[in-house]
Amino acid sequence: MEFPVQTANPAKAETACLVVPVFKEGDLLPTAAKLDDASERLIGQLIERGDFDAKAGSVQLVPFAPGLGADRLMLVGLGEQAKCHERAFIKALDAAFTALSALPVEDVAVAFTDVPVPDRACDWKARMVAESAHRAVYRFNEFKSEPAPVPRLARITLLVSEGGNAAAAREGARIGDAVGQGVALTRTLGNLPGNVCTPSYLAKQAESMGKESSGALAVEILDEAALEALGAGSLLSVGRGSEEPTRLIVMKYQGAENPEEAPHVLVGKGITFDTGGISLKPGESMDEMKFDMCGAASVFGTAKAVLAIKPKLNLVFIVAAAENMPDGRATKPGDIIKTLKGLTVEVLNTDAEGRLVLCDALTYAERFEPASVVDIATLTGAAIIALGHHATGLLSNDDDLALDLLDAGEAAWDRAWHMQTPPRLRCA
């Protein structure tokens, strides 16, 4: 998907559809006003006659655009200007791109950088445009006998009324495009069935990303023999009952000017299918246990976004990938295993496998002497019982890092809730 920026007269933009945001009251925004003048007040007349109600998220397609270089005109409601904060802005974007994705159009031009959003500059608005476009066009059709039509949208021109904002719009769109691609990869990995997305499949995905990165991403795959030699008995114990071999996937990105700068490490739980093992889960909804690798999927998506954004940081991405199955070789309740750190663990419930794969992955992360470590995991449905569907549970032994993550979650609309860990529960 392309996101060029145009500062010239929007009325002359040659595109399949011009997308114009409109408030419920007050004057038209700068780009909308220019288009209204060029089209003999088409926009103003539609509003005055009541043909378009500019409530938040409303969409009106006009299949002609007299006086304009576009084939069509789409009006998008922003609601009341006093209430146009981040959420209303994103709601309008999503409504627009959902409608556009259903049209037979490849290129459109949008005027959303004109919209005043409190405390948000042009780069943020351009980024939201790109992220919303990626959300709208995403489809998972890989296994359908008759795939649904795929949106044709491929080029979204950002109309910027002030030339001084063009560079900011380009940078915002670049980052939004990268994030959108990363999110799409995460969604696809999560959607894949467990007979396709295995630990070996994830390892191959990492190797492909490394090859496509032109050397920006170094990839190392530790197989079961390497993990045995290392002493990663906890991770290996989870996959003992599966025909699918366990893997520890390590991807390294060197972006800092100083290659010796301490990296930030992301660790993802990659249980590609979780039956619970010998402590078997109930059959109802077990098909959803293919999603037990979504922590790993998030790490992969982040790595993809990082490769496109190219931040000046050193990063290490670690994925502990295994399949938790019952079998004659599977770990049994009451078994005692030894972790990579050398600690012994009595396994009372084999469905508590997440902490077993993560503990060895986190121990492995120590060798990089990291500046920070963040692990991402689908550990327990009890998080939903505690927090509902509105926030992710966040536990940390570093309050400063926790605050940074909470702020990042607010900025990304992926909120977290800090679950307190009293001193007696923290490692010395």
Q: Which domains occur in the chain, in start order?
A: 5-176 (3.40.220.10), 192-379 (3.40.630.10)
- Which residues of the chain, if any, have pLDDT below 50? none
Q: In the prediction, which pLDDT does 422 show?
A: 82
**Of 18, 5, 2, which is closest to residue 108 (Cα–Cα)?**
18
Place of tokens 């986190």: 362
Catalytic residue among 355, 367, 424, 426: 355
Q: How many CB atoms lie within 10 A of CB 49?
A: 8
HSE-up of residue 32 (Cα within 13 Å, Cβ side): 23
In whole angstroms, give the CA distance from residue 83 to residue 319. 42
Catalytic residue among 120, 155, 187, 281: 281
Q: In the prediction, which pLDDT does 14 show?
A: 96
Contacts of residue 410, Cβ cutoff 8 Å, sequence gap at least 6: none
3-class state of residue 257 by DSSP: coil
Q: In the prediction, which pLDDT does 163 show?
A: 87
What DSSP line would sit under 352-398, residue for residue?
Answer: -HHHHHHHHHHHHHGGG--SEEEEE----THHHHHHTTS-EEE--S-
In whole angstroms, give the CA distance from residue 87 to residue 305. 23
Q: In the prediction, which pLDDT does 156 show?
A: 99
Whole-angstrom CA distances from 428 to 90, 397, 421, 425 are 44, 10, 13, 9
- Residue 367 is among the residues annotated as catalytic for this protein: no
In whole angstroms, give the CA distance from residue 380 to residue 362. 19
- Residue 281 is among the residues annotated as catalytic for this protein: yes
Q: In the prediction, which pLDDT does 425 show?
A: 74
In whole angstroms, give the CA distance from residue 84 to residue 389. 25
153: its two tokens? 């949208």
Q: In the prediction, which pLDDT does 66 show?
A: 93
Q: Are 239 and 272 in contact (CB under 8 A)?
A: no
Contacts of residue 337, Cβ cutoff 8 Å, sequence gap at least 6: 233, 234, 237, 331, 344, 345, 347, 356
15: its two tokens? 């595109």
